[in-house]
Copies of this chain bind each other. A is one copy, B any other.
Amino acid sequence: MAEAPVVRRGRGRRPAAEVRAGVLSAAGRILMSDGLGAVTFERVAAEAGSSKMTLYKWWPSPGALAAEAYFARSEQVLDFPDTGDLRADLTAQVSAFVGLLVQGGAGRPVAELIGAAQTDPVLAAAWSQHYTKPRRELARVRLRTAQEQGQLRADVDLDVFIDLLWGACYKRLLVPDNEFDASYAATLVDHALFGVVPRA
């Protein structure tokens, strides 16, 4: 993703939304290149050309800022397609997610964010609010459509199905006993959709 350079307009004040976008962009860039530990209010303020006070006012902690920055950065890549073909859409979406983690450099920052969230309630709340809840809702919307169209059984618990698909990816990321690449997505989606018992 290309980053827009921050333009400082002489002595004029930039609109808050523009400052916010610039801060999130800088925080996301630092997170992806140098990891969660490098996302400090000081460094983000310096790179975004904003004041540290603004960051203290807007975010409860650098971890919370990093969580929101990661969502802003991954939003487009993780958009949920709806071509009408559920299997293709899920495979595309899970492939994009795994690709972002494995080839796209997001594996380390995401692992660090989830890792730190286990002992940092402020970061955990930000990660849930700004990343996992909106992501889960996008998946629910797509799956509900599929369920209404009869592509998923009416008795399927959509949240459990979401856990199955993305939980498997998180497990490979966080407890890496096995290799992991984007080709994983096709097998994962097929096993999850069609099950593993012999076909009747």
Q: Which of the 9-residue segments A21-29, A51-59, A158-166 touches chain B?
A: A158-166
Residues of chain A touching chain B, judged by Cβ–Cβ distance below 8 Å, are 37, 111-112, 114-119, 127-128, 132-133, 136, 150-153, 156-157, 159-161, 163-172, 174-178, 184, 187-188, 191-200
Select one of B116, B152, B172 contacting A163, CB under 8 A. Answer: B172
Give the distance in Å from the alpha carbon of A175 to the alpha carbon of B130 in the complex: 12
The minimal Cβ–Cβ distance linking A95 to chain B, given in whole angstroms, is 14
Asked if A160 contacts B184 (CB within 8 A), the reply is: yes
Return chain B residues, CB-CB under 8 Å to A197. 151-153, 193-194
- In the bound complex, CA of A188 to CA of B195 (Å): 11
Query: Given A151-B197, A157-B187, A172-B163, does the pair A177, B115 have CB atoms closer than 8 Å?
Result: no
Q: Which residue of B lies closest to A152 (CB)?
A: B196
Given A168-B168, A170-B167, are A178 and B195 also a contact pair (CB < 8 Å)? Answer: no
